[in-house]
């Protein structure tokens, strides 16, 4: 087990949620490519057949608009970009086909907003696992990002 993983396990056994959140913030997963910066990549794992949800922040440090058009992963049969909405107290979500990030801007995937819907897991996921998810863009190379599996309470 990696040192990082041990630290995370220790974090997750922390008694308070605040302590846990602080712990997780202290160990953000990150990936970067030319002009792109992905941080806080995490994946909420739910029991049973409920799809997992992936969250991250995508910063565009390039001079051009970056367009996120999809994602894929060997660990899931299907991955979609979704947006959660709340209309008249009814929660729903809908697929999103493309998301633009202007130069210098940041796009946040977070609970109650944009998320990666991770469906049909190939294996069993445990808290602390790291799963590679490939983000796909218009007119630029895809970017592989390691997402860390976190418990639902970590959100």
CB of 70 to Cu ion, least distance (A): 14
Residue holding tokens 């602080």? 22
CB of 23 to Cu ion, least distance (A): 26
Q: Binders of Cu ion among 114-133, rule CB under 5 A?
A: 117
Please report whether residue 44 would count as binding Cu ion according to CB under 5 A.
Answer: no
CA distance linking residue 58 with residue 142, whole number of Å: 13
| Of 60, 57, 54, 56, the residue nearest 33 (C-alpha) | 60
Q: Which stretch binds Cu ion (CB under 5 A): 28-36, 70-78, 80-88, 139-147?
A: 80-88
Interface residue with Cu ion among 31, 82, 131, 137 (CB under 5 A) is: 82
Burial class (CB in 10 A: 0-12, 13-18, 19+), 2: exposed
Contact residues for Cu ion, defined by CB under 5 A? 82, 93, 117
């Amino acid at each position: 087990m990696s040192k990082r993983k041990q630290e995370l396990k220790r974090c997750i056994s922390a008694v308070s949620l605040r302590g846990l959140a602080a712990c997780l913030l202290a160990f953000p997963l990150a990936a970067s490519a030319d002009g792109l910066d992905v941080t806080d990549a995490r994946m909420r794992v739910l029991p049973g057949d409920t799809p997992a949800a992936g969250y991250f922040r995508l910063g565009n440090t390039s001079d051009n608009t970056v367009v996120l058009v999809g994602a894929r992963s060997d660990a899931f049969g299907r991955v979609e970009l979704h947006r959660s909405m709340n209309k008249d107290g009814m929660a729903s979500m809908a697929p999103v086909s493309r998301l633009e990030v202007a130069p210098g801007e940041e796009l946040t995937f977070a609970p109650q907003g944009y998320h990666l819907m991770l469906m049909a897991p190939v294996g069993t996921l445990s808290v602390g696992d790291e799963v590679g998810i490939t983000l796909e863009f218009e007119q630029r190379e895809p970017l592989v990002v390691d997402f860390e599996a976190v418990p639902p309470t970590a959100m």
